[in-house]
Amino acid sequence: TAESIDRDGWYHTGDVGYVDDEGYFFIVDRTKELIKYKGLQVAPAELEALLLTHPAILDAAVVRRADEEAGEVPKAYVVLKPDETSKATTGEAIMGWVAQRVAPHKRIRHLEFIEQIPKSASGKILRRVLIDREKSR
């Protein structure tokens, strides 16, 4: 815990959040999960929230993927809805859809369809499972 407390007495939890206009705090991500793309930070939770608004997507998770040029790039794991229209959706179409809605450094560079996003009993995405899956390739 000594490393978590800075010289001004602030305790650093590793959470990323903000305070709204009414003074409420919102935790939106973890600093350890941030993707560093060419020195810029990309929050996986932001991309996941956007992906979940796509009409063909049932569930999604975003993790970092090593990249020689950029350092790290966002990779999305996507579960499509079971209807026929959704099943016909391509990864390229989803990445293009996201690219139209985010800054260039936040674009998803890789996408993989999977049957189910690994989650804990409490529903938290098990990013380590997806990162390990990526590293094993």
Domain 34-135 sits in CATH 3.30.830.10 = no
Q: Where are the domains of the chain?
A: 34-135
Tell me: pLDDT of 29 over 60. no
pLDDT bin (cut points 50, 70, 90) of residue 51 is very high
Q: Which residue has the higher pLDDT, 90 or 137?
A: 90
State how far the Cα of 51 lies from the Cα of 59, in Å rounded to an integer. Answer: 8
With a pLDDT cut of 90, the percent of the chain lying above it is: 63
pLDDT bin (cut points 50, 70, 90) of residue 28 is low
| Average pLDDT estimate for 88-96 | 96
Query: How many Cα neighbours within 13 Å face the side chain of 69?
Result: 2
CA 37 to chain centre: 13
65-87 pLDDT tens trace: 999 999 999 999 999 999 998 88
109-124 pLDDT tens trace: 999 999 999 999 999 9
Assigned token pair, 34: 């941030």
Q: Which amino acid is at 58?
A: L
2-21 pLDDT tens trace: 677 888 887 776 666 778 89
Tell me: pLDDT of 93 over 90. yes
